[in-house]
Amino acid sequence: MVILNNFISIYGLYFLYGLTFLFLGASIALKDMQASQLKISSSLWLLSLFGFTHGTHEWIELFLLSTRLQYSDIEIYGIKILALILVGLSFLFLLLFGLSLIFSINKNKYINWLKPCAIILFILMLLYFFKFESHDPFPNFINISNNILRRTFGFIGSLAAGSGLILYSTKVKKISIPISKYFLFAGIGFCFYSIFAGLTPSHVIIPLLPIPIEFFRGVCAVLITYFLFKALNIFDIHTRKKLEQQIRNQAQSEKMASLGLLSAGVAHEINSPLTNASLNMQMMRSQFKAVLNDEKIQKKLDAIDRNIERASIIAKELLQFSQTRESILSPMDVNQVLDSAIAQMDDKFSNIKILRRQAYLPKVKLNAAKLEQVFLNVMNNSVEAMKNVGELSLITKKVTNEVHIVISDNGTGISPEHLLKVFDPFFTTKKTDTGTGLGLSICHGIIEQHAGTITLMNNKKGGVDTTIKLLIA
């Protein structure tokens, strides 16, 4: 009866153990990640393969336990060889998953080189095992090979996967804190699994507790699968946030288009009376020069001139704001446009340290004059934020199918509540006599016309990083 109970408990452990990892593999394989931009999406297929191969291995072990007496030694030996290959492959997939995930977070070329090295080492180990077995076969060959694979690929692979998930958990906090905790717990589960499945041989009974090691492996498998299954909801959350952002962008575009039409009408209507008022002021000054010689009258007239000039500037910016969606784009080098803008800002850079880093860039379809205007506006804002003294970083680089332009300053930064409004027309934190609040709105319209994006974010230096992304022609 005791033997029967032990058999049933081991049978149940292996069944649950294998089923859990098969469920993990299926959960990942059935998850729609094609449109996802999350870093983990490019690595999860390796974890899915680990789940399928490892779960299959455990069920083969279960098959051997339940039907051992029904097959010959040669047949049992062949099944064990298959199980050995599967467990080795599963740990190889787990190691590659961990390395891929770590590399996606930290683009270290040495981490990326470890992946082909691991594959080559695995093949060499299998060749060595079977060469050794063919020359000197003995009953314990499979057990020894299994232990070697577990203590190398099993241990290191589980640690790599655990470390990758723990690192990734810190990166997804801005998306969802509960999801980041699920990734963290799954990573910790893999760290424990490295001990129970990597360093500890199979069919071992824990000395202080009369419990087989497979029980602890099964517990780890259940916890890992549970937390990863919950963590996979990050794709639904991320997709929902992308849709919400697209809806907001669409609403913003429609609002900007309507406002652009209104702005064009207003600008045309007020330009004529402003021009007329300015001419009349000049005529009055010339005709009544002697009469208007009083200092108080001159101050009043100067104030009128300044306000007319300011109203004219606002009308000009309104007209410009309404025309940002009408342009012809031609393939050009972004570096040349940025260099031209820097040259025009030379007089304002006298006390500014410029850090220029540029890479070779493919041509991008753009309107040079309007993109230059964006660069001038952003750099001018940075100089004003630094009060004409500081460090301005200008970086251009190619990222997949995009050109990125990053303009960073160490100025005063922008408060979080204002970051959400910086592209709204007429929103400004400057004094009413120094800013109209249309500069960044015009920039947003120009970049949108180029089918690109412009974002502002506070940086660690206390200033702002302005990132412009343009699709490569």
Q: Give the CA count within 13 Å in the CB-facing half-sphere of 291.
A: 5
Give pLDDT, residue 10: 77
Mark whether 222 and 306 lie in a shared domain.
no
Can you tell me the distance from the alpha carbon of 354 to that of 410, in angstroms, rounded to the nearest whole number?
A: 12
Indicate if the pLDDT at residue 4 is higher than 70: no
In a domain, 380, yes or no: yes
Give pLDDT, residue 443: 84
**Domains: count for the chain:** 3
Lowest mean pLDDT among 84-88, 94-98, 248-252, 261-265: 261-265
Percentage of the chain exceeding pLDDT 70: 81
Q: Which residue has the higher pLDDT, 433 or 415?
A: 415
**Domain carrying residue 275:** 254-323
Question: Mean pLDDT score of the chain, rounded to an integer?
Answer: 81
Mark whether 200 and 297 lie in a shared domain.
no
DSSP secondary structure string, 38-65?
Answer: -GGGGTHHHHHHHHHHHHHHHHHHHHHH
Mark whether 420 and 301 lie in a shared domain.
no
Indicate if the pLDDT at residue 71 is higher than 90: no
In a domain, 130, yes or no: yes
Q: What average pLDDT does this structure show over 299-328?
A: 67
Per-residue pLDDT reduced to its tens digit, 451-464: 888 888 888 888 88
Q: Which residue has the higher pLDDT, 410 or 36?
A: 410
Mark whether 28 and 162 lie in a shared domain.
yes
**pLDDT band at 326; cut points 50, 70, 90:** low
- Going from the C-alpha of 463 to that of each of 35, 413, 460, 466, the distances in angstroms are 33, 4, 7, 10
Mark whether 208 and 350 lie in a shared domain.
no
Mark whether 264 and 120 lie in a shared domain.
no
In a domain, 106, yes or no: yes
In a domain, 443, yes or no: yes
Mark whether 391 and 421 lie in a shared domain.
yes
Mark whether 274 and 208 lie in a shared domain.
no
Mark whether 288 and 387 lie in a shared domain.
no
Mark whether 412 and 277 lie in a shared domain.
no
Per-residue pLDDT reduced to its tens digit, 149-173: 899 999 999 999 999 999 999 988 8
Under a CB-based contact definition with an 8 Å cutoff, are residues 448 and 430 in contact? no
Q: What average pLDDT does this structure show over 126-135?
A: 68
Helices 155-171, 177-193: crossing angle, 10 deg rounding: 170
DSSP secondary structure string, 325-392?
Answer: T----EEE-HHHHHHHHHHHTGGGGTTEEEEEEE-----EEE-HHHHHHHHHHHHHHHHHHTTT-EEE
Give pLDDT, residue 304: 77
Using alpha carbons only, give the angle 408, 321, 255 rounded to the nearest 5 degrees.
95
Give pLDDT, residue 1: 38
Last residue of a domain, one of 180, 198, 232: 232
Q: Specify the DSSP element, H or E, that contains 307.
A: helix 295-322
pTM here is 0.59
Mark whether 335 and 412 lie in a shared domain.
yes
